[in-house]
Chain A
Amino acid sequence: MSTTAASSTATLLPPDAKPPKSKTASYYSIHPHWQDVVPIPQADQTGTLAAIAYSARYSEAMSYLRALMAEKEVSERALALTEDLISMNPAHYTVWIYRMRTLRGLWTASGNVSNAKVVEVQDEVTPTGDWTEEVDETLWDNIASELKWLDEVSFRNLKNYQIWHHRHALADLLPADPASPTTSTSTSTPASETKPQLSTTLHQRLSTFITSEQTFLAQILSLDTKNYHVWSYRQWLCTRFPTFLLPSPPTPTSTLPSQPSIAPTYRTHTEVHAIDTMIHDDLRNNSAWSHRYFLLFGHHELHHAQSRTPPLILKQVNDERLLHAAGRVDTPLIHAEIAYTQTEIRKAPQNGSSWNYLRGVLRHGAVAITTLRAFCEEFLGPDGDLWTDQWIDVEVEDAHTAEKRTEKQELGVRSSHAVEWLSEIYGQDGADGGVDRARECLTALGEKWDVIRKGYWEWRVEKLEAGGTK
């Protein structure tokens, strides 16, 4: 084994020396714990396109990582090395992969996780989906400590992809939630009448974990409220731990005819409450609205679609009203959410996110759009005027001086979305000149309220007229 020139001549660092901040200083080559490793430098790429020039310290750390990876070393120092590299370049996905392998290897070797549960990554097919027994205390501590480190990395690297996948992989090591659809499909006894229950201790453990995840998610979303990675992780967490995160977790379709309505209490559920708060803070947060839909309705659709053999697609579930047929639509909840969304729309009538959500709720509940005619007409001008500007001049008389003056009042059309909905509502109401009124709505949209999409509104008029002649 040859040693590097640096390690044979330079004075070694004290064993407790931490990686330096400097971009040029040596560290691994002069650290006593690394003297047995022969670093593998980056292959020479002189003259190639896009050759990469690294800082000296980053190059050094990478060359030690290559050496460990070549030997498939699983050790505490490997873990420390990945931490050092991630702090310098968190986007290097190879480093993250090696870190997860190392963690799994260490946790397996320490005996607190059975070999059947944590295996070499290349052999791994599914995570611990059927794991319902008690878990060794050390694993909880290990996962908690890795998450604590990951939290700090996450706050420094909001747009990074790898942090979310790492988090997902860690959470997936935890015991399964018996209510999770992924659990029910992977159990070895599908005919079993009784679903496994979480023990009290396990329930408390998971509950604590979920609460800390919710706290973390609230913090990180406060910095970047519409981050698609965060919301994707949050949605996955809901399906992985439905007992804790879904207000009405899925139940086996064969055993219960229907669940009682959650309408009286759902707003106090922690996850719904968290979304209420986010929408309250920014009612234009489309991600929050989307998550709300998933929490209250979407996961039922998905569960219904995926529990069939072969699985159905979401669109079929809605188009064919399959949840209705199965008695799985919570009608009081639908009406509670329509009322909630109407309140939010009145606060900001031009908010596309809330209108989009309302459309989804109507569709899920198979509620006719025509029932919202009066609501939509609230956003038109006086006497149903479709053309008046939002601000109109109104003559008012001063109560004291009787002097007349002009004031601007918000009396005109306040929502192009309402006008669009009304075009559909009137179009369906063919009796009293509905088609003419619908056409006027579409014309107003193309010529006044949404001129930029004139081409789209013209097509809608054509479609309306084609439908009207049938």
Chain B
Amino acid sequence: MSLVSGPGRGGQKTNALPDELALAIDQHVKYIQQLDTRKDELQYWMTEHLRLNGVYWGLTALHLMGHPNALPHDQTVQFVLECQNPDGGFGAAPGHDSHMLYTLSAVQILATINALEELEKSKHGGGDKVAAFVASLQDRETGTFAGDEWGEQDTRFLFCALLALAILDKTDLVDVNKAVAYVKACENFDGSYGRIPGAESHSGQVYTCVGALSITKRLDLANLDRLGAWLSERQLPNGGLNGRPEKLEDVCYSWWVLSSLAMIDKVHWIDKTKLTNFILRCQVTMHESRSRTTLISIDRIPSKVAFLTGLAIWLMYSTLFSVLQA
């Protein structure tokens, strides 16, 4: 099953749903386009550390909704390249230190708009330089990756590294076997995964660990039955998915859990219709209120990041919609 089923797939209306439970494509596209005009608002620069991520989320949502040209191509490329540093990596915004998270977003954005070759025009070096930056963050002893020169290690960064390198076709720059062994070491007795070996199982970390195994074609190493059971237990009676046992559901975790289930081919273990309706209900509430604060309360997201997390949420449910329809 493909996570991204092609432009426009997410936009198809299903007749099974009442009108109020349909994806409001036009409103979402307009919202993402208008983000750029809101830059005088306080929260816009408070979320500067998420800027490049935000462009990726918005862009992906637009592509999923069948509006791939809604953001200007040339300006997108220009902004991405302005975020690059002399070390080859990318920061969240121009002038920010390089970090794995933003380097992946940069590569993803350029790949999405067929502009990877633009990297070769960058004054800070082309695809090879980017790949070398990513590879330099691997801990050659344990196989895992740091996010930046500070050395904070997390399976999130390992996933980001493998994905960026896979897009750049440069996975040979790192020790893939050691990276895979590290992911395996993060498996807990419940079949699920944490940030480092022994850390609490968390569906965000499951997504990154399963993603890493999927990219490296080593899903055979996961305990698929136990993992699938743990993931499917995340669905609550209202249809939404939570991130850890006994937590509340939200759209964000619905994304991490569902895409993990999709990677291990176990989506049929949960109730897809109920999940779809849960996601669409969140959308309806957002539109009725026309207020970011309501959006915040729905998903319990700290207000400081709500502005761009809004984008992420739209990306998520539009992607979810594609998966569920496939």
Of A49, A54, A93, A459, which one neighbours B96 at CB under 8 angstroms?
A93
Partner pick for A92 among B96, B150, B274, CB 8 A cutoff: B96
Cβ of A388 under 8 Å from chain B: no
A359 interface contact, C-beta 8 A: yes
Q: Assess the B189–A360 pair: CB atoms within 8 A.
A: yes
Interface membership of chain B positions 39-70, coded 1 if the CB is closer than 8 angstroms to chain A and 0 otherwise: 11010111111110011000000000000000
Q: Is the beta-carbon distance between B46 and A91 smaller than 8 angstroms?
A: yes
> How many whole Å from B55's CB to the nearest CB in chain A?
6
Q: Could you say which residues of chain A place their CB within 8 Å of the CB of B233? A: 352, 453
B97 adjacent to chain A (CB < 8 Å): yes
Stretch from B3-11, B162-170, B265-273, B284-292 forming part of the interface with A: B265-273
Residues of A within 8 A of B181 (CB): 313
**Structural contact, A455 and B268, CB atoms closer than 8 A:** yes
Determine the chain A residues whose CB is within 8 A of the CB of B237 once the complex forms: 452
The prevalent SS among residues of A at the interface is helix
CB contact under 8 A between A285 and B75, given known A50-B55, A313-B184, A313-B185: no
Knowing that A318-B189, A455-B270, A456-B229 touch, tell me 16 more A-B residue pairs with CB under 8 angstroms. A50-B36, A50-B39, A91-B47, A91-B304, A94-B95, A97-B148, A97-B149, A121-B150, A168-B152, A228-B200, A285-B246, A314-B187, A314-B197, A314-B198, A456-B269, A459-B269
Q: Which residue of A lies closest to B184 (CB)?
A: A313
The chain A residue sitting closest to B237, CB to CB, is A452
Q: Is A3 an interface residue (CB 8 A)?
A: no
A42 touches B150 (CB 8 A): no
Contact: B95 with A43, CB < 8 Å? yes
When A and B form their complex, which 7 residue pairs have the shortest distance between CB atoms, in order from nearest?
A290-B200, A284-B246, A456-B269, A352-B245, A49-B75, A49-B79, A313-B185
Q: Is A328's beta carbon under 8 Å from chain B?
A: no
Chain A residues bordering chain B, tally (CB within 8 A): 67
Q: Which A-chain residue is minimally distant from B142 (CB atoms)?
A: A311
Given A48-B78, A232-B195, answer yes or no on A352-B246 (Cβ-Cβ < 8 Å): yes
Chain A residues with CB under 8 A of B322: none
Question: Residue A169 at the B interface, CB < 8 A?
Answer: yes
Docked Cα-Cα span, A50 to B94, in Å, equals 10
- A45–B82 Cα distance when bound, in Å, is 9
The interface bits of chain A over 13-57 (1 if a CB of B lies within 8 angstroms of the residue's CB, else 0) are 000000000000000000000000000001101011111111100
Interface 9-mer from A129-137, A138-146, A299-307, A389-397: A299-307
How near does chain A come to B266, taking the closest CB pair, in angstroms? 8
How distant is A458 from chain B, measured CB to nearest CB, in Å?
A: 9
Chain A residues positioned under 8 Å from B117 (CB to CB):
none
Residue contact A92 to B94, C-beta cutoff 8 Å: no
Interface positions, chain A 341-360, Cβ under 8 Å from B, are 351-353, 356, 359-360
Residues from chain A with Cβ under 8 Å of B190 in the complex? 356, 359-360
